[in-house]
């Protein structure tokens, strides 16, 4: 990796990836981000470093992407709509931000002669699987437009690989937590408890079981796959061996905030929203076979996430 472009590089995962690359790799880094959910503050630690460049742009703007891609050999495509449950109301956003946006990035890669493409996909492509932990090879039955848009992006990346010889690595993520955390259940709980420290409203009935992964472990997994993976197209689950119930996540957040006597209230049902999977636990044996494994427990990562939100004035 001599020149790496990271779409969504000012966001939660992208900024952590950029920081790790800046610290551990001797490569040029271009951040491409529209800053709608990402923040330049996430990149402040290396702002001004001559190996780094920040381009404010949208992945739906193909000419801007093509201009930013000049001289790039490796792309980590992380930019996407992050609202997993919003597709029921906003039917085009996943199509535009996840599917068309991914096609644009791939087309810019082709035009620039990029050799390696890393795609952030999602555990949502599995819908509601019947096998746990869920391996990469199970049938992919879609239950959300978000998951469907991610799966479409995967398919297009594989087609570009077939046409152009692009080396493609696809990562199917569980939810990530940790420093610079920008969205998700832990932040939602913190925001609700900041508004009302006596009651916490929880989507579903709290019985949902979810796996999470700390961003520090996740970035290690991505870079490990980049160094040790083989083959023109690779697909890896990226997750933790552990899982927590949503009620337990809520209790950890309450404890980390130093609150007592919080009453939990529920929307009801075994799902938080249409398209939600009641149980998420991925089989990561394929990635572990390259020598990687998660080191940080989910509980510790949630505590660290709350502390990070508190330092940022968001909890």
Percent of the chain with pLDDT over 90: 92
- DSSP assignment of the chain equals --EEEEETTTSHHHHHHHHHHHHH---EEEEEE--SS--GGGGGGGTT-TTEEEEE--TT-HHHHHHHTTT--EEEE------GGGGGT-TTHHIIIIIIHHHHHHHHHHHHT--EEEEEEEGGGG-S-SSSSBPTTS-----SHHHHHHHHHHHHHHHHHHHH--EEEEEEE-EEESTT--SSHHHHHHHHHHH-TTEEEESTTS--EE-EEEHHHHHHHHHHHHHH--SSEEEEEE--S--EEHHHHHHHHHHHTT--SPEEEE--SSSSSTT--SB--B--HHHHTTT----S-HHHHHHHHHHHHHHTT--
Domain boundaries for CATH 3.40.50.720 within the chain:
3-173
**Which pLDDT does position 181 carry in this prediction?**
87
Which of 170, 254, 171, 177 lies closest to 210, judged by CA? 177
Tens digit of each residue's pLDDT (9 = 90 or more) over 48-101: 899 999 999 999 999 999 999 999 999 999 999 988 888 889 999 999 999 999
Mean pLDDT of the chain: 96
Domain boundaries for CATH 3.90.25.10 within the chain:
179-211+242-270+295-311
**Which pLDDT does position 111 carry in this prediction?**
97
Residue 251 has pLDDT above 90, yes or no: yes
Gyration radius of the chain over CA positions = 19
pLDDT band, residue 113 (cuts 50/70/90):
very high
pLDDT band, residue 230 (cuts 50/70/90):
confident
In sequence order, the 6+-apart residues with CB closer than 8 A to the CB of 237 are 123, 134, 135, 136, 172, 282, 283, 284, 286, 287
**Which pLDDT does position 83 carry in this prediction?**
85
Residue 47 has pLDDT above 90, yes or no: no
Least confident of 12-16, 228-232, 266-270: 228-232
Determine how β-strand 209-210 pairs with β-strand 244-245.
antiparallel
CATH code for the domain defined by 3-173: 3.40.50.720
Q: Could you confirm whether domain 179-211+242-270+295-311 is CATH 2.30.30.240?
A: no
**Which pLDDT does position 300 carry in this prediction?**
97
Tens digit of each residue's pLDDT (9 = 90 or more) over 175-222: 999 988 888 999 999 999 999 999 999 999 999 999 999 999 999 999
Tens digit of each residue's pLDDT (9 = 90 or more) over 130-180: 999 999 999 999 999 999 999 999 999 999 999 999 999 999 999 999 988
Single pTM value for the model: 0.97
Residue in this structure with the two tokens 């692009």, named with its chain if needed: 166
């Amino acid at each position: 990796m001599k020149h790496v472009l990271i779409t969504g590089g000012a966001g939660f995962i992208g900024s952590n990836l950029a920081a790790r690359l800046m610290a551990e790799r001797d490569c040029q880094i271009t951040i491409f981000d529209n800053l709608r959910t990402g923040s330049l503050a996430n990149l402040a630690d290396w702002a001004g470093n001559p190996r780094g460049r920040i381009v404010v742009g949208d992945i739906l703007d193909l000419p801007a992407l093509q201009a930013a891609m000049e001289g790039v050999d490796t792309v980590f495509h992380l930019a996407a709509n992050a609202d997993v449950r919003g597709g029921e109301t906003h039917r085009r956003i996943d199509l535009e931000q996840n599917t068309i946006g991914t096609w644009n990035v791939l087309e810019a890669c082709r035009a620039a002669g990029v050799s390696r493409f890393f795609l952030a996909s999602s555990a949502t492509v599995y819908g509601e699987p019947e096998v746990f932990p869920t391996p990469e090879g199970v049938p992919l039955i879609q239950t959300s437009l978000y998951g469907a848009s991610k799966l479409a992006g995967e398919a297009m990346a594989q087609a570009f690989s077939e046409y152009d010889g692009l080396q493609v690595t696809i990562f199917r993520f569980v939810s990530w937590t940790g420093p610079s955390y920008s969205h998700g259940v832990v932040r939602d709980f913190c925001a609700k408890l900041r508004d009302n420290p006596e009651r916490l409203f929880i989507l579903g009935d709290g019985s949902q079981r979810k796996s999470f992964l700390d961003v520090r472990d996740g970035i290690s997994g991505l870079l490990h796959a980049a160094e040790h993976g083989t083959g023109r197209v690779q697909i890896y689950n990226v997750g933790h061996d552990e899982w927590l119930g949503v009620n337990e996540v809520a209790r950890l957040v309450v404890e980390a905030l130093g609150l007592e006597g919080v009453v939990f209230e529920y929307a009801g049902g075994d799902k938080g929203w249409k398209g939600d999977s009641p149980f998420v636990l991925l089989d990561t044996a394929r990635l572990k076979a390259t020598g990687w494994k998660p080191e940080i427990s989910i509980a510790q990562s949630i505590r660290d996430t709350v502390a990070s939100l508190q330092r940022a004035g968001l909890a």
